[in-house]
Amino acid sequence: MRLDRLWAEDRPAKFILGSLLVLGAMARLVPIATNRFHQDEALYSTWALYIVTGRDMLLNGFPVDKPPLFLYTLALFFRLFGPSEVTARLPGVLASTASVALVTYLARRLYDRPTALAAAALMALSPFNILFAPTALTDPLLVALVLGALCLAVEGRWTGAGVVVGLAAATKQQGLLF
């Protein structure tokens, strides 16, 4: 079921949801260049640079302990926008912002509009989520993919849910737990 059908004929709720999504996205973008890389961010970005430059596209020369999806996503962003700390953090910001919409969808399908709006507000304005989103770490993408799988499962689209959980596991090993 599409999100617009869930919110049909409810303009105030659409406005509140839209405002929360914009506010959530802006809150995640503000700290994107505030801090320098954490060691893991630097490591993942280095691996992505080796991929995008073609020096070691399969990372055979490194003891990589992460599944490949996040690293290749990072490499794609480097290819599209150029390598930088801000570029490395964009996938996390986008995934975290998408998570706000996915949590809203899930709450609306399982409960009601007020619950969905409360879930959207909590996710959009969560200090932990806001500060963790602008990182070049695997977790924001993992969470977005798991939420996407849950949204598909709620719709009874089991194959799609399984594929998306597989993508979550290809992002971080903990995706297997879902």
pLDDT in tens, 24-55: 999 999 999 888 999 999 999 999 999 999 99
Please, what is the average pLDDT of the chain?
92
pLDDT above 90: residue 1: no
What pLDDT, on a 0 to 100 scale, did the predictor assign at position 107?
96
pTM, entire model? 0.90
Tens of pLDDT, residues 55-105? 999 999 999 999 999 999 999 999 999 999 999 999 999 999 999 999 999
Q: What is the DSSP annotation of 49-118?
A: HHHHHTSSTT-TTS---S-HHHHHHHHHHHHHH-SSHHHHHHHHHHHHHHHHHHHHHHHHHHS-HHHHHH
